[in-house]
Structure 1
């Protein structure tokens, strides 16, 4: 496990320029499906992206390792319907096969372990998707986590293949990568 974003800097997670890395519309296009989905936001933080998805799906479970991030979410997003869960990606307190889509925005580098991917598989329905937009190890600049804590798109693909996910969409972008995988189990 790598760094966890400090709640002391939570306000920076609310900056509108985050949409340059991933717009709400783009995320919605990969996550929301037909509007009846149950989705899991992994590393939900302040709920910046949760608020973009919640109106377009049936249910959102937002997990974050830090209770303080959920407190921030409650204080600033009382209109967002999501079940906030304090947990790690290795211990998701949901039943097997309950999630159609699990997604993470700029947090994969914080949970990229085989144990986490197996746990995500457990809660995903067969054929369910794991959608990741994260800082790329190949990206220029110093924005985001330290370069040695990031993964390249190829590394993320290998992690998922090793755990039995089927690779769907895979794109390198300017500072980030997009990876959409399907749960074959």
Structure 2
């Protein structure tokens, strides 16, 4: 009666208005709704990047699909995230990381702000998003170029974003943050570990 169920579900849990409480578990939720008109159930996965990264999300979607298709028994054994954490902790200590970034960022005295916009933490109602899917052929060429350069695709895309941000901010020196878990150095099974 209030419109398409999918639209209602998306509106109810729109990230511009709905937030997970990071101080309380769970940081992963599944909101479900029956869609009797289409004779189906809909699910909307809600999570914070502290709980899932892109690799984890791909594994989770693959596993959910396998369960729904009745092929869950063909999935590989799950890899415990604690194995990845243990491997990652074998590297440098926090002090070494802090010293590295202190040296690298020593001459940076202000944030890199696109269009000079500083106050972006309001309710988000004034923010407009635009998404554009890249052509699969372009995606293949980007992956090939990254392999040719001996870097990850993420590194290549971060470089591109840095160039765009530099233009939008009118700066030659650009600093921005990104979430990086370093799964490539995480040991066996790190690519399938949820976390």
TM-score interval w.r.t. the shorter chain?
A: under 0.3
Higher relative contact order (CA 8 A, sep 6+): 2
**Higher helix fraction (1 or 2):** 2
- Give me the TM-score of the superposition, normalised by structure 1: 0.25
Q: Comparing both structures, which one devotes a greater share of its residues to strand?
A: 1
Larger radius of gyration: 2
So what's the TM-score if we normalise by structure 2?
0.24
